[in-house]
Structure 1
Amino acid sequence: MSTTSDVLVDAGALRDQVREKYRAVATDPAGPFHFHTGRDLARRLGYDAGAVAALPDRAVESFAGVANPFQLRRPAPGERVVDVGSGAGSDSFLAAQQVGPTGHVIGVDMTPEMLDKSTATAAELRLEHVEFREGLAEALPVEDGWADVVISNGVINLCADKRAVLSEIRRVLEPGGWLQFADIANGRPVPDGALRDIDLWTG
């Protein structure tokens, strides 16, 4: 369990900034962001071109991942997947293609506009084995030991309490389950002042 000293910025304030940023990505995906988005980003990150092409624009235009978690391993048919920080659902929909109708995918996100977008896309695609739930990475709305696989893409770095996030991931994974995540890491020491600058976390 994390202590107060482990958490370097105010978690609530950080969530508010992250929500505001990704609200804009959901509603104006072509906006002037400091990161790439959409189909071009998926191509740069090495996603399967055919799988991405099969998705409607609404499922891909707000994609803002940092790498391709499926390069580590493709979820197998029938597996159950949790997507932590699912956004507009790009990775969730790709996981749904891989697990097929006998599998199940739960996307979890905290930004209402992203959830609206992903839920509408799931309905459009008539994917009954995909659902999206509102929640935090630090308190996943998923039962213990439910998932064969947990995926995440560019999300854990945006959470103040990473120990809590990883504890939740462990809780929802079945014994022997897989964690496949892509994220941003820094191999060099970061000055204490920078670690505590909330604007640098989101920027």
Structure 2
Amino acid sequence: MELKEIYDQVSKRYGSVAKSSTGHYEQAIAKAFGYTEEELAGVPEGANLGLSCGNPVALARLREGETVIDLGSGAGFDVFTAAKRVGLTGKAIGVDMNKNMIDKANANKAHTTASNVLFIESAITSIALPDSTADCIISNCVINLVPAVEKQLAFNEIFRLLKPGGRVAISDILARKEFTEEMKKNISLYVGCVAGASQVSEYDAFLKNAGFNGILVADSKNDLNVYRTAAEDKPSTSGIDAIREEQDALFCCSAETRKTCCKLDEKESCCGTKTSTCACQTRTSSMGDEAKTMASRLDIRDLNEWAGSFHVYAVKPTTI
């Protein structure tokens, strides 16, 4: 896959995710990867988009007064959690390349009193912040989305932004064995945080090449199949949602494509047009959708056989 194609597809997919969330799936995913009820209750509604593969805030051991940067901050889930840990004397900065995500995060911020939170629209390989800005940098299931040829740039940027003695705490999906060529070329699996996953040895090398010490890359042993099972366990819709889904099928889609049809609202007919027919759009996908893709198209029933959720921790030396 070409570099531009990867970034375009990742941006398109996550820009779409930023516009919707249902609650049940997102909560189930967060709990499966270590978030507590208290943490979930402490973030604005809509901040949790069900995109986690771990809890880097728990790994980071943040302290009062620290500055923390979240790479690939999405709607602000980990930023708002981190902001509570560092307190008003600290600062929590979210960085995301997707404008829809930044807009969503700022909208969520408007519903809080979090004066120590800032969101920046930027690629995580080059961020307009000074050297030695942060005491800690976190990231949650995002670095695997950076194309292989630019992954080292992301780790170099992390190193640059950390203060001497600063630490990086990452939750990410890493490969347990070499992917097939078919898997590597599947863009759906790539944007689903699977096909772009590095090997453990590669991750270790990225950190060492950037200059880090005290490197720990540990398998969390969490079950990646939760992405699929959580989607399957989602409660059925009722009331107005059920009516709209019937309208989607009637006015938008054939039987083969109705599952990807867009939602109606009270003011407009399907896809934002004023007509009774329209071209179907691709509905927001979740990591559960990508897990199903692996199962159905590539005959891969157990995600854990191929990849895992890993905790990654490293320290920037105090002297270089």
Q: Aligning the two structures, in what range does the TM-score lie when normalised by the shorter sequence?
A: 0.7 to 0.9
Query: Given the alignment, which residue of 122, 125, 133 partners 2:120?
Result: 133
C-alpha distance in structure 2 between counterparts of 1:137 and 1:16, whole Å: 15
Decide which moves more: 37-46 or 162-171: 37-46
What is the letter of the counterpart of residue 186 of structure 1? A
Mark the CA change 1:143 to 1:199 in structure 2 (over 3 Å): closer, same or farther.
same
C-alpha distance in structure 2 between counterparts of 1:101 and 1:85, whole Å: 23
Q: What is the aligned partner in structure 1 of residue 17 from structure 2? A: 25
**What do residues 21-71 of structure 1 show as CA deviations (whole Å, max 9, x unaligned)?**
11121112249xxxx9522221111112112212221222x2411111123
Q: Is the 8 A contact 2:68 2:135 kept in 1?
A: yes
- The answer to whether the aligner puts 1:89 opposite 2:76 as a matched pair is yes
Q: What is the aligned partner in structure 1 of residue 85 from structure 2? A: 98
Q: Is the 8 A contact 1:37 1:64 kept in 2?
A: no
Structure 1 residue ranges without an equivalent (≥5): 1-8
Tell me the SS of whatever aligns to 2:60.
coil
Q: Is the 8 A contact 2:60 2:138 kept in 1?
A: no
Query: Given the alignment, which residue of 47, 57, 64 partners 1:59?
Result: 47
Instruction: Answer with 1 or 2: which has the greater Rg.
Output: 2
1:186 deviation in Å?
Answer: 0.6
Query: Given the alignment, which residue of 87, 107, 117 partners 1:120?
Result: 107
TM-score w.r.t. structure 2 length?
A: 0.56
Query: Given the alignment, which residue of 32, 39, 42 partners 1:44?
Result: 32
1:136 deviation in Å?
Answer: 0.4
**How many corresponding residue pairs?**
190
C-alpha distance in structure 1 between counterparts of 2:15 and 2:60, whole Å: 30
Q: Is the 8 A contact 2:135 2:166 kept in 1?
A: yes
What is the letter of the counterpart of residue 14 of structure 1? I
C-alpha distance in structure 2 between counterparts of 1:13 and 1:30, whole Å: 29
Tell me the SS of whatever aligns to 1:143.
coil
TM-score w.r.t. structure 1 length?
A: 0.86
Q: What is the aligned partner in structure 1 of residue 161 from structure 2? A: 172
C-alpha distance in structure 1 between counterparts of 2:10 and 2:4, whole Å: 10
Mark the CA change 1:141 to 1:96 in structure 2 (over 3 Å): closer, same or farther.
same
Tell me the SS of whatever aligns to 2:126.
coil
Tell me the SS of whatever aligns to 2:75.
coil
Query: Given the alignment, which residue of 146, 155, 158 partners 2:133?
Result: 146
Mark the CA change 1:171 to 1:196 in structure 2 (over 3 Å): closer, same or farther.
farther
What is the letter of the counterpart of residue 57 of structure 1? E
Mark the CA change 1:67 to 1:123 in structure 2 (over 3 Å): closer, same or farther.
same
1:201 deviation in Å?
Answer: 1.5
What is the letter of the counterpart of residue 89 of structure 1? G
Structure 2 residue ranges without an equivalent (≥5): 193-320
Q: What is the aligned partner in structure 2 of residue 110 from structure 1? A: 97
The RMSD of aligned alpha carbons is 1.9
Mark the CA change 1:139 to 1:40 in structure 2 (over 3 Å): closer, same or farther.
same
Structure possessing the higher relative contact order (Cα contacts under 8 Å, 6 or more residues apart): 1
